[in-house]
Amino acid sequence: MNNKLTTGIHTSGEKHLVLATGRAHPELAQAVARELGIELLPTTAYDFANSEIYVRFDESLRGADVFILQSITNPVNKWIMETLIMVDAAKRASAKRITVVLPVYPYSRQDKKHMGREPISARLMADMFKTAGADRIMSVDLHASQTQGFFDGPVDHLWAMPTLVEYVRTRVDLAESVIVSPDAGRIKVAEQWAARMGGLPLAFVHKTRDFSRPNEATANRVVGEVAGKTAVIVDDLIDTAGTIVGAAKVVLNAGAKDVIIAATHAPMSEPATKRLRESGVREIVITDTLPIPSDKQFPQLTVLPIAPVLATAIEEVFNDGSVTSLFDGAF
């Protein structure tokens, strides 16, 4: 019998992955759970009469690797608060590691100061999640990649591009197509789209924006050749659709045969549905990072599932694998 003492105590327990969801987009969380082959963590959550939020996890989280998934849709601030409360509850339940899965990063467009005395709200979001107890953040197609640096910890920046490209390739004649960026700031993403589509030519729409008037931009002209071609306009987000529809009209006026719009996130704030339906665009392709209610759906809209991307990334993080390798050098 070996009575020699060892340093520390070694357990024989296995790692435990737990997936919890807020109330903003439970359908997406259920789809991710199906991809992982697990059940969602039973959770009690409700609003008090004065609108305060209550959350309690109905099973033990001690020593677990907890992933809290919340799509921050309208009302944005309510779902941010619920997520923070869930993180706090998991921390106080002795979870080993807490990863906040935000398919859409909140306040992502407020990532820098355009004028004096403005906040950098995207940084504030990172600080709040860290203070609440988050160890890691996972998000899809950040508005600006440098947002990763706001959080003091690992950030997994996932890409919907492979999912979107795979579908769009089946909808166009590659020999007669062009990738279009809706503004100069998205050129890098458009270049990656062009490469993945087999080296398609590039164009971009020159626009001006008055930062004192939110959700408004004026598309002026196309830089690049689009006449007689199918223009694939790519962006990260469609909110009121003013920018993207304006870009589509400029491209069509420049002689494009038709237009397909591809974007990752679609808050679809009014009047986005009306604008897109009446835009003359052949098809709008998005993912379901945010819920798309039936009253905001229309014949030209195609919604692709993001759950396989999220589930694969969650599994890689849980198994200490590589998230970057999932996207074939997209970073």
- Six-digit token pair at 235? 């962006």
Give the percent of the chain with pLDDT over 90: 86
User: pLDDT tens digits, the chain, 331 residues: what are they?
Assistant: 556 666 676 666 788 999 999 999 999 999 999 999 999 999 999 999 999 999 999 999 999 999 999 999 999 999 999 999 999 999 999 999 999 999 999 999 999 999 999 999 999 999 999 999 999 999 999 999 999 999 999 999 999 999 999 999 999 999 999 999 998 888 999 999 999 999 999 999 987 665 566 656 565 789 999 999 999 999 999 999 998 999 999 999 999 999 999 999 999 999 999 999 999 999 999 999 999 999 999 999 999 999 999 999 999 999 999 998 888 654 4
pTM of this prediction exceeds 0.85: yes
The reported pLDDT for the residue numbered 181 is 95
Per-residue exposure over 64-79, b if at least 16 CB sit within 10 Å of its own CB, e if not: bbbbbbbbbbeeeebb
For residue 3, give every residue at least 6 positions away whose Cβ sits within 8 Å of its Cβ, in sequence order, or none. none
The reported pLDDT for the residue numbered 63 is 95
The reported pLDDT for the residue numbered 10 is 63
- The yes-or-no answer on residue 207 being catalytic is yes
Q: What angle do CA 320, 35, 54 make, to 5 degrees?
A: 85
The reported pLDDT for the residue numbered 327 is 80
User: Which residue type sits at 9?
Assistant: I
List 15, 188, 207, 229, catalytic entry: 207
Helices (H) and strands (E) in the chain — how many of each? 8, 14
Q: What is the CA radius of gyration of the chain?
A: 22
| Residue 156: its H or E element | strand 155-158
Q: Cα–Cα distance between 261 and 286 in angstroms, integer? A: 8
| Of the candidates 237, 243, 232, the residue with the CA atom closest to the CA atom of residue 290 | 237
